[in-house]
Chain A
Amino acid sequence: MADKSSSNAYWKANIRTIQIFLVIWFVCSFGFGILLRPVLSGIGIGGTDLGFWFAQQGSILVFLVLIFAYAARMNKLDREHGVEE
Chain B
Amino acid sequence: MDQFTLNLLVVGATFALYIGIAIWARAGSTAEFYAAGRGVHPVMNGMATGADWMSAASFISMAGIIAFGGYDTSAYLMGWTGGYVLLAMLLAPYLRKFGKFTVPEFIGDRFYSPTARLVAVICLIVASVTYVIGQMTGVGVAFSRFLEVSNATGLYIGAAIVFAYAVLGGMKGITYTQVAQYVVLIIAYTIPAIFISLQLTGNPLPPLGLFSNEVHTGQPLLQTLEGLVTDLGFKSYLNQSDTTLNMFLFTMSLMIGTAGLPHVIVRFFTVPKVADARSSAGWALVFIALLYLTAPAVAAMARMNLITTFYPEGTASQPLSVAEIEAGVDSHGNNLDWVKNWVTTGLLTVEDKNGDGLINYVGDKEANELTVNNDIMVLANPEIAQLPGWVIALVAAGGLAAALSTAAGLLLAISSAVSHDLIKGQLNPGISEKGELLAARISMGVAIAVATYLGLNPPGFAAQTVALAFGLAASSIFPALMMGIFSKRINNKGAVAGMLAGLIVTIIYIFLHKGWFFVPDTNSFTDADPLLLSIKSTSFGAVGALINFVVAYVVSSATEEPPVEVQELVESIRVPKGAGAATGH
State which residues 51-98 of B face A: CB under 8 Å.
71, 74, 77-78, 81-82, 84-86, 88-90, 93
CB pair B85–A63 under 8 Å, yes or no, is: yes
Partner of A1, one of B289, B296, B572: B572
CB pair B211–A10 under 8 Å, yes or no, is: no
- Find chain A residues with CB under 8 A from B82 CB: 25, 29, 59, 63
Is B363 engaged at the interface, CB distance under 8 Å to the other chain? no
**A11 to B349 Cα, complex, angstroms:** 59
**A83 to B274 Cα, complex, angstroms:** 11
Is B278 engaged at the interface, CB distance under 8 Å to the other chain? yes
Among A4, A11, A29, the one with the most B-chain Cβ atoms within 10 Å of its Cβ is A29
- Find chain A residues with CB under 8 A from B240 CB: 37
**A4 to B567 Cα, complex, angstroms:** 13
**A10 to B275 Cα, complex, angstroms:** 15
- Find chain A residues with CB under 8 A from B572 CB: 1
Partner of A7, one of B93, B248, B574: B574
How far apart are A74's CB and chain B's nearest CB, in angstroms? 6
How far apart are A20's CB and chain B's nearest CB, in angstroms? 11
Question: In the complex, which residue of chain A has the Cβ closest to the Cβ of B211?
Answer: A46
CB pair A68–B89 under 8 Å, yes or no, is: no
CB pair A85–B211 under 8 Å, yes or no, is: no
Question: Taking A1-B577, A34-B248, A85-B274 as contacts, is the C-beta distance between A67 and B211 under 8 angstroms?
Answer: no
**A45 to B211 Cα, complex, angstroms:** 7
**A66 to B289 Cα, complex, angstroms:** 13
**A64 to B71 Cα, complex, angstroms:** 22
- Find chain B residues with CB under 8 A from A63 CB: 81-82, 84-85, 285, 289
Is B522 engaged at the interface, CB distance under 8 Å to the other chain? no
- Find chain A residues with CB under 8 A from B274 CB: 85
- Find chain A residues with CB under 8 A from B244 CB: 34-35
- Find chain B residues with CB under 8 A from A4 CB: 571
Interface bracket on A: 35 or more
Partner of A21, one of B78, B85, B579: B85
Partner of A29, one of B90, B93, B223, B251: B251
**A81 to B447 Cα, complex, angstroms:** 46
Is A18 engaged at the interface, CB distance under 8 Å to the other chain? yes
- Find chain A residues with CB under 8 A from B286 CB: 64
Question: Taking A10-B575, A83-B577, A84-B576 as contacts, is the C-beta distance between A74 and B71 under 8 angstroms?
Answer: no
- Find chain B residues with CB under 8 A from A25 CB: 82, 85-86
**A57 to B223 Cα, complex, angstroms:** 17
Q: Among the listed stretches B103-111, B214-222, B338-346, B404-412, which one makes contact with chain A, having 4 or more residues with CB under 8 Å of it? A: B214-222
Interface string of A53-85 (1 = CB under 8 A from B): 101110111011011101100110010001111
How far apart are B294's CB and chain A's nearest CB, in angstroms? 10
State which residues 248-270 of B face A: CB under 8 Å.
248, 251-252
Question: Taking A34-B251, A64-B285 as contacts, is the C-beta distance between A21 and B77 under 8 angstroms?
Answer: no
How far apart are A75's CB and chain B's nearest CB, in angstroms? 6
Question: In the complex, which residue of chain B has the Cβ closest to the Cβ of A15?
Answer: B486
Question: In the complex, which residue of chain B has the Cβ closest to the Cβ of A56?
Answer: B296
Inter-chain residue pair count (beta carbon < 8 A):
144
Question: In the complex, which residue of chain A has the Cβ closest to the Cβ of B273?
Answer: A85
Is B207 engaged at the interface, CB distance under 8 Å to the other chain? yes
CB pair B71–A85 under 8 Å, yes or no, is: no
Question: In the complex, which residue of chain A has the Cβ closest to the Cβ of B575?
Answer: A83
- Find chain B residues with CB under 8 A from A52 CB: 71, 74, 222, 238
- Find chain A residues with CB under 8 A from B223 CB: 47-48
**A30 to B86 Cα, complex, angstroms:** 14
CB pair B211–A47 under 8 Å, yes or no, is: yes
**A61 to B54 Cα, complex, angstroms:** 18
- Find chain A residues with CB under 8 A from B252 CB: 30
Interface string of B270-281 (1 = CB under 8 A from A): 000111001101
Question: Taking A60-B289, A63-B82, A84-B577 as contacts, is the C-beta distance between A48 and B275 under 8 angstroms?
Answer: no
- Find chain A residues with CB under 8 A from B238 CB: 48, 52
**A62 to B6 Cα, complex, angstroms:** 40
- Find chain A residues with CB under 8 A from B578 CB: 1, 85
CB pair A33–B576 under 8 Å, yes or no, is: no
Is A2 engaged at the interface, CB distance under 8 Å to the other chain? yes
Among B85, B244, B281, the one with the most A-chain Cβ atoms within 10 Å of its Cβ is B85
State which residues 129-149 of B face A: CB under 8 Å.
none
CB pair B571–A47 under 8 Å, yes or no, is: no
Sample (6) of A-B pairs whose CB atoms are under 8 Å apart = A46-B212, A56-B71, A67-B84, A67-B285, A71-B275, A74-B275
Q: A1-B578, A21-B85, A25-B85 are in contact. List 19 more A-B contacts (CB 8 A).
A: A1-B577, A2-B577, A25-B82, A47-B221, A55-B71, A57-B77, A59-B81, A60-B77, A60-B81, A63-B81, A63-B82, A63-B85, A70-B278, A71-B88, A71-B279, A71-B282, A83-B575, A83-B577, A84-B577
Top 9 A-B pairs, shortest CB-CB distance? A47-B220, A46-B211, A55-B74, A47-B222, A67-B282, A47-B223, A71-B278, A56-B296, A83-B575
Interface residues of B (CB under 8 A from A): 71, 74, 77-78, 81-82, 84-86, 88-90, 93, 207, 210-212, 219-224, 226, 238, 240, 244, 247-248, 251-252, 273-275, 278-279, 281-282, 285-286, 289, 292-293, 296, 571-572, 574-579
